[in-house]
Amino acid sequence: MRFTLFAAAVMTSAAALAAPIAYPETPRGFEVEARHGLSVPDPYRWLEADVRTDANVAKWVEAQNTVTNAYLAGLPRREEIRQRLTALYNYERFGLPRVRNGVQFFTRNSGLQNQSVLYVQAPGAEPRVLIDPNPWAKDGATALAEWQPSDDGKLLVYAVQDGGTDWRTLKLRDVATGRDLPDVIEWVKSSAIAWKKDGSGFYYSRFPEQAGPKYLGVSLNQKLYFHKLGTPQSADQLIYETPAFPKRGHFGQVTDDGRWLVIITSEGTDDRYEVHIADIAKGEKPRALVTGLDFDWSLAGSKGDTLYFRTNKDAPKGRLVAMNALTGAITPVVGEGAATLTSASVVGDKLIAETLEDAKSVVRVHTLDGKPVGTVPLPGIGTAGGFESSEDGVTYFAFSSFATPGSIWKYDARTNKAEVVRQAKVAFNPADYTVSQVFYPSKDGTRVPMFVAHRKDLDMTKPHPTLLYAYGGFNISSTPGFSVSRLVWMEMGGVFALANIRGGGEYGAAWHDGGRLLKKQNVFDDFIAAGEALVAKGITTKGQLAIQGGSNGGLLVGAVTNQRPDLFAAALPAVGVMDMLRFANWTAGRYWIDDYGDVTKPEIFRYNLAYSPYHNISGGKDYPAVLVTTADTDDRVVPGHSFKYAAALQAAKAGDKPHLIRIETRAGHGSGKPTDKIIAEAADLWAFAGYWTGLTK
């Protein structure tokens, strides 16, 4: 009887899910994007307005969520998936510690806390809570963002992030008493925090106060300031600005010895910097060390008059150089190798060089004059990160892989010894899973790597529902990392695949350059080829293949869904850049010209128009099931991108499968999202993709 009732319920649910969806009516306007002799229809431009202040957009969002929530509620196993996600998320996890004057600061989440808690631990004492952001908001959506202790460990600057916004409010806390000082700093976004060695104050970057809408305005005229403790923000000292170049941004770093203020200037998302420095003790004004926004100059550390930088000047995969802070003279230290140099730091009298070999971490150790002396012992194939510069030779790093939860390691550069100090323990057995790396040819013959992970006991002589993920942009490398939600997908019997497509930084500048500007189509070709390779290898079928990507990866999913709707059963574009003609009009969009190009140029406008997800939806074709996700407070990729795309997709009558949009409230681009919202969204995504790939049917 129980089976009969269950079967009947499933049949009823299946019938409901197969019924045509009555999408909310979305009025069409008559606006066009008129440039370069073209007039491109933009009927849903009214959806670009801020959902928090525009009543019509707010009503549209409410209507869309009503339809989407009703559909998701009928998906089989949705509640089971949510419960399993909740059980697996309930594990203790830690952030990388920072040690100042022997005092250790680190974040910890006991399991299901919406926000991680910041702890402090003095030598010989037990850890104690310094900041618990969980009571800050009833919905758990106000987060502790960036934080930085002073060098003596007595004070802490911390950033408050509300509802997922990129904007920050900086506050100060006395570490001994746990009480806040009266200092408050506003209008901060995309800023480093750098303490002066004597603890008298700190350097930070801010934008001018905006008269218009805070969540849509373009970010311009960022300036570097020094805040002296106990004074109002209005008295902060302006350190550096470029009024003739309003698109340039600046952030400050202070070397470990406290001597040098190093100012890094950029204009877009590319690693192309100018460098200015000042001798803090001498009260110097910033002076130019590197001019011209041509190459990467990332500070690794210092020793006296010598500054160490990672650069791609004359080295597309990166190298390390020493630069004399007084004369600007450059001395090569570690030359370019076969691996891609992603980060470097000075730890004691060693240079720690983080590299990628076929998207896997290898960390090399050198003397300060560049002599190789070994590699950091890592616990396996995966991703290592951290290695904060330090004067005493001791630092920390984090390590994880697809089936290896995050662990925190203490590393002594003097002995080349690494020991685990905190290990996450999740209620599953990592030995039950396997990860392999395969290579496949793209459309133009380029060899592209892809990780494939699944349960060991899965019968791989048969195809299985598969989730394919990629990013492919902005020189960002996609590497093996642990994810509870992906683990649940694999636990249910699905395969997870991560394609390291062009546009990322896995193989240095050439790999990035091969997937941007007028070569952006290579990114889509690489991703489509990844799907075809998974089918050709018998890992999955077209009817079992789901694709996922966020932000630039959301653009990726939207574009390839238009280009090859026949290849995929389900598509999950998250917080995507969907209007490639107007992306530079809002917030951080103008930075993305480095990857997407300047649409004021006719060639770029026409090229972008050819792949823009919003503009290339093909009515009359059978599209896969699509669940778009975004959030009302995303002020990086504003939700209007997803709103317009979803409206156009629903109006196109592109097949009988559902084309829905899920719009989170009081959330942003991803950072600061509370645990309960992460779980709820993942449950909806896996129930949706699982149903349409056959995993949960």
By annotation, the residues acting in catalysis are 551, 669
CB contact at 8 A, 628 and 636: no
CB contact at 8 A, 140 and 134: yes
Joined together, the tokens standing for residue 58 give 């707010």
| CA quadruple 450, 408, 300, 223: dihedral sign | positive
Q: Is 431 exposed, middle or buried (0-12, 13-18, 19+ CB in 10 A)?
A: exposed
Q: Reduced to 3 states, what is the DSSP secondary structure of residue 296?
A: coil
Picking from 597, 685, 668, the residue whose alpha carbon sits closest to that of residue 630 is 668
Q: Reduced to 3 states, what is the DSSP secondary structure of residue 297?
A: strand
Phi-psi region of 394 (alpha: psi -120 to 50; beta: other; left: phi over 0): beta
Q: Which residues pair with 678 in a beta bridge?
A: none
**Which residues, 6+ apart, have CB-to-CB distance to 55 below 8 Å?**
none
Picking from 358, 521, 516, 508, the residue whose alpha carbon sits closest to that of residue 444 is 521
**Matching residue, tokens 């419960």:** 83
C-beta atoms surrounding 423 within 10 Å: 16
Q: Which residues pair with 149 in a beta bridge?
A: 156
**Matching residue, tokens 């992603």:** 342
Picking from 347, 316, 319, the residue whose alpha carbon sits closest to that of residue 332 is 319
H or E element: which one contains 561?
helix 552-563
- How far is it, in rounded angstroms, from Cα 502 to Cα 514? 6
- 332-342 per-residue burial string, b: 16 or more CB within 10 A, e: under 16: ebbebbebbbb
- How far is it, in rounded angstroms, from Cα 46 to Cα 54? 10
- How far is it, in rounded angstroms, from Cα 356 to Cα 507? 8
